[in-house]
Structure 1
Amino acid sequence: MAKASGKIILFGEHAVVYGYPGIAVPVKDAAVEVSISPSDYFSYETDRELYKEEKERLNDLLELLFFQLHAEKKDMEIKIRSTIPVASGMGSSAALSVALIRAIAEHLGKAIDDKKVNEIAFECEKMFHGTPSGIDNTVVTYGKPVYFYDGEMYFLKLKKPLHLVIANTGIKSPTKEAVLEVRQRYERDREEYSALFEKIGQIAGNAKTALESGETAQLGGLMDKNHALLQQIGVSCKELDELVSAAKSAGALGAKLAGAGKGGNMVALVEQDKKDGVMNSMKKLSKNIIYTEVKP
Structure 2
Amino acid sequence: MRLKVRSASSPGKIILFGEHFVVYGKPAIVSAIDLRAKVKIQPTSEPQVKLSNGSTHNPAVKAAEYILQELKINLGLIIDIESTIPPSAGLGSSASISVASAAATSLLLLDRIDLDLVREAAFVGEKLVHFNPSGIDTSIALYGGSGLYTRAESLKPINISIDRLLVIDTGKTRKTGEMVKKVREFYEENKEKFKEILEEYDEILNSVLDSFKNRNLEDIGKLMLRNQELLREIGVSCEEIEKAIKTALDAGAYGAKLTGAGGGGCVVALIDEDRLEKAVSMISEKFKVYTPRLSAEGVREEKT
TM score, norm. by length of structure 2 = 0.86
> Residue by residue, what CA displacement relative to the aligned partner does 1:157-195 show, whole Å, maximum 9, x if unpaired?
326333201011111122111010110111111111221
8 Å Cα contact 1:5/1:32 also seen in 2: yes
C-alpha RMSD of matched pairs (Å)? 2.4
Take 1:76 and 1:190, find their aligned partners in 2: how far apart are those partners? 48
- Which residue of structure 1 aligns with residue 253 of structure 2? 252
Find the residue that maps to 2:248 and give its secondary structure: helix
Take 1:252 and 1:139, find their aligned partners in 2: how far apart are those partners? 26
8 Å Cα contact 1:20/1:198 also seen in 2: no
Letter in 1 for 2:57: K
8 Å Cα contact 1:170/1:263 also seen in 2: yes
- Which residue of structure 1 aligns with residue 15 of structure 2? 9
> Residue by residue, what CA displacement relative to the aligned partner does 1:45-64 show, whole Å, maximum 9, x if unpaired?
468xxx96x82665444422
> Residue by residue, what CA displacement relative to the aligned partner does 1:46-94 show, whole Å, maximum 9, x if unpaired?
68xxx96x826654444223224x1414233321111211111111111
8 Å Cα contact 2:51/2:61 also seen in 1: no
8 Å Cα contact 1:244/1:256 also seen in 2: yes
Q: How does 1:203-222 map to 2 (within 5 A)?
A: 203-222=204-223
Take 2:58 and 2:25, find their aligned partners in 1: how far apart are those partners? 33
8 Å Cα contact 1:166/1:266 also seen in 2: yes
> Is the counterpart of residue 141 in structure 1 residue 142 in structure 2?
yes
- Which residue of structure 2 aligns with residue 87 of structure 1? 88
8 Å Cα contact 1:252/1:270 also seen in 2: yes
Relative to structure 1, is the Cα distance of residues 172 and 45 closer, same or farther in structure 2, using a 3 angstrom cutoff? same
8 Å Cα contact 1:22/1:201 also seen in 2: no
CA drift at 1:283:
1.6
> Is the counterpart of residue 20 in structure 1 residue 23 in structure 2?
no
> Is the counterpart of residue 63 in structure 1 residue 68 in structure 2?
no
Relative to structure 1, is the Cα distance of residues 37 and 62 closer, same or farther in structure 2, using a 3 angstrom cutoff? closer
Letter in 2 for 1:31: R
- Which residue of structure 2 aligns with residue 36 of structure 1? 41
> Residue by residue, what CA displacement relative to the aligned partner does 1:107-148 show, whole Å, maximum 9, x if unpaired?
123433434423432343334323222111111100111202
- Which residue of structure 2 aligns with residue 293 of structure 1? 293
Letter in 2 for 1:269: L
CA drift at 1:19:
0.9
Structure 2 residues not aligned, in runs of 5+: 1-6, 297-304
Fraction of identical pairs, as percent: 33
8 Å Cα contact 1:159/1:213 also seen in 2: no
Structure 1 residues not aligned, in runs of 5+: none
CA drift at 1:105:
1.0
8 Å Cα contact 2:43/2:78 also seen in 1: yes
Letter in 1 for 2:282: S
Take 1:57 and 1:144, find their aligned partners in 2: how far apart are those partners? 23
- Which residue of structure 1 aligns with residue 129 of structure 2? 128
TM score, norm. by length of structure 1 = 0.88
Q: How does 1:151-162 map to 2 (within 5 A)?
A: 151-158=152-159, 160-162=161-163
- Which residue of structure 1 aligns with residue 79 of structure 2? 78
- Which residue of structure 1 aligns with residue 300 of structure 2? none
Take 2:63 and 2:116, find their aligned partners in 1: how far apart are those partners? 19
Take 2:11 and 2:58, find their aligned partners in 1: how far apart are those partners? 24
User: Greater CA deviation, 159-168 or 95-104?
Assistant: 159-168
